[in-house]
Amino acid sequence: MVRMRDIYLLKFGGNALGDDGMERLCREVAALTEEGVSIVMVHGGGPAINAEMERLGMKPVKVAGKRITDEAGLEVVEKVLRGINAEVVRCLEDAGVRAIGMPGYFLSECRRDGPQTVVDEGREIEVDYGLVGEVVKVDPQVVYDLVDERIVPVIYPVGSDGEQHLNVNADSMAAGIAAGIKVKEMIAITDVPGILRDVHDPSSKIDTVTLKQIDALIADGTISGGMIPKVDACRRAIEAGAEAVRMVNGKDPDSIITDVIKGIPHGTLIIR
């Protein structure tokens, strides 16, 4: 049976949280779940994956914010993400939250990306990402059953097309899950205050942006790199019916997610 619930999906990147950020985020999640808020988490691990690849003499390459991934790269991705996932679950448990870690392929089906044309830095680029995919189908019941028991699913972005595992950008995984479980809100926690008009100027934050404005910001190069899959993810979540999609700063000293969930706006709100 599929029921509608008020589920908040939190996505955070490997760079997003400051030194004590993970503990703080987990404490906020603890307080919110205590109040009955249903939370699902999806995390990435970009910097740790880069570090491990470099340690092994591999060269990390990203185009338009997504990692080009071969078999050896996928092995590193899976190993590093599994480790981070276990740490996140432990941190939640330490904060008193019941949590369960799982890969994306536990509840979704993915399709491998074909060669394609993308826009980065305002320029068109031909790219074949290799063993990279997007979520095409989700089994929402997995999430519903857990959140009904007040258990927080913590998902790491490795998918499968039924034949092989695929690396999925964490924002893309979050968007696919958000669409598949019909979240109320998706909150992308990142290392910038929101979408900036000038990446080097945190005060140039855009408070509210429409999907149409986002297209223009990608075309003129204002939005580039990792911000591209992030805004694509926001678009997918909105088109799937999310009431609100936001981007917030994981290094915010006051409140990472509690304020926005309680209706005090910060970061960037993405609207239709």
Kindly give the pairing relationship between strand 151-156 and strand 38-43: parallel
Task: List the single partner that 176 binds among Mg ion, ligand ADP, none, CB under 5 to 8 Å by kind.
Answer: none
- With CB under 5 A, what is the number of residues at the site for Mg ion? 1
From 107, 143, 196, 218, residue interacting with ligand ADP (rule: CB under 6 A):
196
Under the criterion CB under 6 A, does residue 17 sit at the interface with ligand ADP? no
Phi and psi angles of residue 26, each rounded to the nearest 5 degrees, phi first: -65, -35
- Taking CB under 5 A as the criterion, which residues in 211-270 touch Mg ion? 226
Closer Cβ to Mg ion, 49 or 257, answer by number: 49
From 8, 13, 177, 186, residue interacting with ligand ADP (rule: CB under 6 A):
13
Closer Cβ to ligand ADP, 67 or 146, answer by number: 67
Closer Cβ to Mg ion, 44 or 140, answer by number: 44
What's the CA gap between 61 and 204, in Å, rounded? 28
Under the criterion CB under 6 A, does residue 222 sit at the interface with ligand ADP? yes
Question: Least distance (Å) from ligand ADP to the CB of residue 33?
Answer: 23
Under the criterion CB under 5 A, does residue 73 sit at the interface with Mg ion? no
What's the CA gap between 97 and 150, in Å, rounded? 8
Closer Cβ to ligand ADP, 171 or 252, answer by number: 171
Cα three-residue angle 50-43-32, rounded to 5 degrees: 150
Residues that bind ligand ADP (CB under 6 A): 13-16, 44, 46, 65, 171, 190-192, 195-196, 199, 222-227, 230
Residues within the annotated binding site for substrate? 45-46, 67, 167
